[in-house]
Amino acid sequence: MPSLKERMAAFQDASSPDKFQEEKRATTPKAMPRARSRSPPPNFLTNSGGKKKPVRGKVVENHVSPVRQRPKDWDYLFDLANRFDQFKAEEADQKKKKAAGELPPTPEKEANEEEGGGTDIRAALEGVMAGSYTASADWLNQDWITEHLVESTGENYKSLTFNFNDPSLFKKFTKVQDKDRKVIIAKFISNLLSHPKSGEITRLDLHGALLPDEFMEELSVEILKKPTSTLKNLQVLNLESNLLQGKGIEALAKMIRHDLSLRYLQVLQLENQGKTMTSDAESALATAIGHSNSLVVCSLRVRGAMEKKEIDDITAYNMDHLRQARREHAAKSGTLKTRKRNEMEQYFDKIAANDASITAVDIVGDQKFLTLKAAEKVKSGAAFATNTNIKTLKMQKLGLDDDFAKQLGESLAKNSTLEKVVIDSNAITGAGIKALFAGLGQNSTIVEFQVRHQSKTMASTDEQPLPELLEPNKSIIKLGVDCRDQLIKMKLDKVTNNNREHQRKLRAAAKKAAAG
């Protein structure tokens, strides 16, 4: 039997930490080799922050198209511009009449008044009108369409509106009576589109009629059968306060996107739908509007940020085309009025005309200059070529670019009055600075020239020719330009030092000659 001392030694050996770790490693299965990091699978979205965290979700393809560069048919666009001017004139006239209480009553309101009126118009309409809406649709004929046509004539406009805002029709024929509703929709659209005056209709006002998706689907099918002749003059489509949600919106998008249908549709109103528009419908509508040449007003609520931006961009784009079309027509007909030049443009016109009242130019971050067109900014550089009155030129923080610099460089080569030029803190690159130095080399009056702190760094290859370009100059003694190459800096300093020495000798010679 082992002694107590031997047993204690064996116990200590078995319970030591090193022994324990060895046994643990022996009994623990080897870990699998760590896999290399891989990009997340396709059904993951990765956020755009600093830390990349996989976010579960479905990747949705963006169907929104960018604004396209389209060929401009100026005659068609000018026609659109005239129609939109008429629309605005009618809107203003209607607003005045509404304020004065002179608007004619709608067919629904007339029917309500014939039955004795009442404070609850909606309830009265449902009681009166719904009773005549039978499933056979015998009442739905050309005469019924004619009753809902409203002509409006003003000094500068003429329009024909089909106005149907009665919710009781489709409230009576709900989805439960699917067969009857199909008959109603088919006869409604058939009689509307085959009416003798359908080609003259400029406004389709169907707001508050509780139209279902099926109505727009049927309307789209019928219009696209003869896209060039069906509702060919439709300008305003008011579908507010209906039940359009998915298929109906997609059908509307199909009509808008078609190249030949609804070519004069300019105003689309889709606010306040009873059901939330589906994502697919939003995307389809935004894409269709993105292909439209005519839409300039779109009143609808869109959840998708990309879709909203697409709609806003294309309506602004089309509106600008109307402005251009008016200008193009005025130029063609010889009625284009010359735009009055603004204050800043007139200021540089005076400089170019050698106005003696301007002896110094000091423009720093001026908003009036910043809003000038690029051509006018370049033109301002040319204004100093023949000026004999300005001695100091200071133009800073104005975003002046290489085009301006090249024009100013040519002016410096011809100018014989400027003594100080400061064009710091602009956006002139190496190409522009070389052009300035080329002009500066031929100048004989400039003493100080500053072109530092440009937003764009000058390349080393552009720095190399600067000393050689400046060498012919004998007047400049103070020069500010950002060069990284120390050798170039030394060469430029040598030019200015030589000029100082040259001018000192000239002063000494003049003094000696004066002393006699």
Q: What is the pLDDT of residues 267-323, one digit of tens each?
A: 999 999 988 899 999 999 999 999 999 999 999 888 888 888 889 999 999 999 999
Of residues 345 and 70, the one with the higher pLDDT is 345
Read off the tokens for 356. Answer: 């003696």
Residue type, 352: A
- pLDDT surpassing 60 at residue 26: no
Distances (CA, A) of 85 to 47, 121, 205: 47, 34, 19
Distances (CA, A) of 296 to 40, 92, 128, 235: 42, 17, 38, 11
Read off the tokens for 444. Answer: 């004989």
Task: Write the pLDDT tens digit of every residue in 207-258.
Answer: 999 999 999 999 999 999 999 999 999 999 999 999 999 999 999 999 999 9
Query: Percent of the chain at pLDDT above 70?
Result: 80
- pLDDT surpassing 90 at residue 403: yes
Task: Write the pLDDT tens digit of every residue in 432-447.
Answer: 999 999 999 999 999 9
> For 408-440, b where at least 16 C-beta lie within 10 A, e where not — what string?
bbbbbeebeebebbbbbbbebbbbbbbbbbbbb
Distance CA(216)–CA(247), nearest Å, equals 8
Task: Write the pLDDT tens digit of every residue in 334-353.
Answer: 888 877 899 999 999 999 99
Sequence-separated (6 or more) residues with CB below 8 Å from residue 334: none
DSSP string, 158-185: EEEEEE---THHHHHS-GGGHHHHHHHH
Task: Write the pLDDT tens digit of every residue in 354-375.
Answer: 999 999 999 999 999 999 999 9
Task: Write the pLDDT tens digit of every residue in 106-158.
Answer: 555 555 555 454 445 555 444 444 457 887 788 889 999 999 999 998 888 89
Residue type, 166: D
The β-bridge relationship of strands 54-56 and 44-46 is antiparallel
Q: ∠173-175-176 over CA atoms, to 5°?
A: 85
What domains, with CATH codes, occur in the chain?
74-103+134-333 (3.80.10.10), 343-515 (3.80.10.10)
